[in-house]
Amino acid sequence: ASYETEKASVARSIASLLEEFRKMAQGPVAPAEVQEQIDAWRNRFVFQFTDDFDSVERLMEQELDDRPYDYDRRLLDAVQKVTAADVERVAKLYLKPESLSICVFGMLTDEDRKTLGEKFKLTVLPKSEVFRGGYDDAEAPKDEVPEGQGAAGKDVDKEAA
């Protein structure tokens, strides 16, 4: 699962998400909720075919993935047949809230650190460990320049320095 939230409500939103996972894994799932999600999925699904480019792109992806020509129709039919019992069975089998890894991107408030630290093993990674390089990073970060080279990657004369 992924979602975005306001900075001020990170801990609260994580707690809400975990509570929903626990409910799904432990208790009955309401048929109305399942139908609501199927309807929402179907309504998003149809917008994948709104123009020729998107339709051709999907057909090409299916060809590359060696899927049958009628894959989208089969997928739609399969999703529409999902029942509350199916969701309960799969949730109990695979949904393990105690084994989740949660990644938060952005700055945590002191209150979030305190709240999350009470409930979870909290590891805060510096940005430099999470994001290394990239397409728009033309040169190595200054703290990772190999010894004997200047910031621009040119050899440095140790005698002159």
* pLDDT per residue as tens, the chain (161 positions): 666 777 667 778 888 888 888 888 888 989 999 999 999 999 999 888 888 998 898 889 999 999 998 999 999 999 999 999 999 999 989 988 888 887 877 777 888 888 888 877 778 787 777 777 665 555 555 555 455 544 444 444 444 44
What pLDDT, on the 0 to 100 scale, is given for residue 84? 94
- CB atoms under 10 Å from CB of 10, counted, come to 21
Pair 114, 26: CB distance under 8 Å: no
Amino acid at 153: G
What pLDDT, on the 0 to 100 scale, is given for residue 153? 47
Of the candidates 96, 149, 105, the one whose C-alpha atom is nearest the C-alpha of residue 2 is 105
What pLDDT, on the 0 to 100 scale, is given for residue 155? 45
Can you read off the two tokens belonging to residue 123? 């590891």
